[in-house]
Structure 1
Amino acid sequence: MPSSSRTGSTPDSSDADAIRFGIRLQRLISVGYPEGTKRYTDVEIAASVGVSAQYVANLRNGKSLPRLEKAVRLAAFFRLDSWDYFVKPDDDPVVLAVERRVRALNAQRSGQPPAAVGATEADDPDVAELWTHLKNNRDVQRIASRATQLTPEGLAAVLGVVDQILGSTTPTPEPSDDS
C-alpha cells in the first residue's frame, strides 16, 4: 500500500515502489493523459488532488509514495479506473492498457499514425506472431514491458543491440538424417 514518504513508509514499500510510481506519474504528465492535448503542471495536479506542488514533484521524482487516499485522487485526476497503474507490475493488464494509450498519445503528438502503435492481430500477421511469442515467453514479456518506459533514443539503442546480436548469431545447422 502506498505510504506518505520513504521515511514514514510501510514495511512492504521500498525505493523501487516510489521510483515506479514516479516514472508512471511522469509519463501521464508528459503526454497530458488522457487527452494528449497539454502537459499538466505540478500546480494543476496539486490543486486538484489537494496537496502541494512540491509534494507532486516529490512523487514525480520517486522521492515519495502517496497514501492510498492521495493515490486514488491522482488516479481520478488522470481518469484512470483505479490507482493500480501506479503500483502494479509492468506486465499487469491494467498497466499494459494504460501504456498502450500513452504510446498512442505519444505517436499522435509526434505525427505517427495511431494504427502503427495499436495494431491488432487482424491488421497484421506479424502482430499475431508477436502476441503468441509474448503470451508464451516470460523473458520476452519482461523485455517488452520494460521497453515501454524507454525514450525514443533508448528504444533505438536497444534495437541496435538486438540487431547486432541477431546479426552475429548464425543458426546451428540441423543434423541430417543421411548419416
Structure 2
Amino acid sequence: MSGRHDAAECFSRRLQRLQEVIYPADLGRPYTEREIAEAVGMSVSQISNLRNGRSVPRADRAVALATLFGVRVEYFFLPGEDRYTRDVERHLRAIEQERRGEPVGHRDRAAGGSAAADTELFDDDQVRQIAEGVAVLPHDMRETVHALVDQLRRAVGRPHKSRERKPW
C-alpha cells in the first residue's frame, strides 16, 4: 500500500467520524456532503472522494474542513495513539453520550478545542516534532506530509525557513 493511499484512508476515516458526530444542534442531524462542500468551497464529488478514501485534500481545504468541524488539521493525519487524536476521540464519544442522554463529565461540545485558538498553527519546534514522527512513515507518505506542511506554511503566509545544515 502506498503512503498516499494510507493518508487518504486515514483522512477518510477521520472525516467520516467527524461528520457522524459534529453537527449544529439546529440541524439535529449530520451535515450532508452538499452542506460540507458549500461550507468549505469544494464540490460534492470532491467531498465524496475524501469520504471514500480516493483522495487527500489540498492543505487549504484540509484546514477549512478542520475549522468546520472544530479540530486542528493534524487530526486528519496523526496516528490513532497520538494524544491529540485520543483527546478528539474522547470528546466525540462524550458528544455521542450526551445525545443518548447519558451523563457526561464535561460540556465541551467541540471535538478538538477551539479552532480559533489554533490560527497560529505550529511554531518551528512543533513542526520539527511532527517531522521527526514522519521519519518513520513510508517514503510516499513522508512526501505527502512534507507537501502538506509546505502548503500549510504558504496558506498562513509563513515562508519555509531553510535551516543551516550541521556538519555532523
Cα offset, 1:37, TM superposition? 4.4
**Aligned amino acid, residue 44 of structure 1:** E
**Aligned amino acid, residue 54 of structure 1:** S
| TM-score relative to the length of structure 1 | 0.53
Query: Is this contact kept in 2: 1:30–1:39, CA < 8 A?
Result: yes
Matches within 5 A, 1:39-54: 39-54=30-45
| TM-score relative to the length of structure 2 | 0.56
Cα offset, 1:13, TM superposition? 3.7
Render the CA deviation track for 1:40-75: whole Å, top value 9, x for unaligned: 111111011111011111111111110111101111
Task: Please list every run of 5 or more consecutive structure 2 residues that lacks an aligned counterpart in the other structure.
Answer: 106-168
Q: Which of the residues 45, 51, 56 maps onto 1:60?
A: 51
Cα offset, 1:17, TM superposition? 1.3
Matches within 5 A, 1:149-160: none
Instruction: Name segments (4+ residues, structure 1) moved above 6 Å.
Output: none
**Aligned amino acid, residue 100 of structure 2:** S
RMSD: 2.2
Task: Please list every run of 5 or more consecutive structure 1 residues that lacks an aligned counterpart in the other structure.
Answer: 1-11, 116-179
Which residue is equivalent to 1:76? 67
Please tell me whether Structure 1 or Structure 2 has the larger radius of gyration of its CA atoms: 1
Render the CA deviation track for 1:104-123: whole Å, top value 9, x for unaligned: 111122222224xxxxxxxx
Query: Is this contact kept in 2: 1:23–1:60, CA < 8 A?
Result: yes
**Aligned amino acid, residue 70 of structure 1:** R
Query: Is this contact kept in 2: 1:88–1:95, CA < 8 A?
Result: yes
Q: Give the Cα–Cα distance (whole angstroms) in 1 for the partners of residues 5 and 20 of structure 2.
A: 22
Please state if 1:114 is matched with 2:79. Answer: no
3-state secondary structure, aligned to 1:14: helix
Please state if 1:85 is matched with 2:75. Answer: yes
Which residue is equivalent to 1:120? none
Q: Give the Cα–Cα distance (whole angstroms) in 2 for the partners of residues 78 and 92 of structure 1.
A: 19
**Aligned amino acid, residue 73 of structure 2:** W
**Aligned amino acid, residue 91 of structure 1:** E
Q: Give the Cα–Cα distance (whole angstroms) in 2 for the partners of residues 107 and 52 of structure 1.
A: 32
Which residue is equivalent to 1:98? 88
Considering Cα pairs closer than 8 Å and 6+ residues apart, tell me whether 1 or 2 has the greater RCO. 2
Q: Give the Cα–Cα distance (whole angstroms) in 2 for the partners of residues 93 and 34 of structure 1.
A: 26
Equivalent pairs: percent with the same residue? 42
Q: Give the Cα–Cα distance (whole angstroms) in 2 for the partners of residues 18 and 112 of structure 1.
A: 34
Query: Is this contact kept in 2: 1:29–1:40, CA < 8 A?
Result: yes
**Matched positions, count:** 104
Q: Give the Cα–Cα distance (whole angstroms) in 1 for the partners of residues 46 and 100 of structure 2.
A: 30
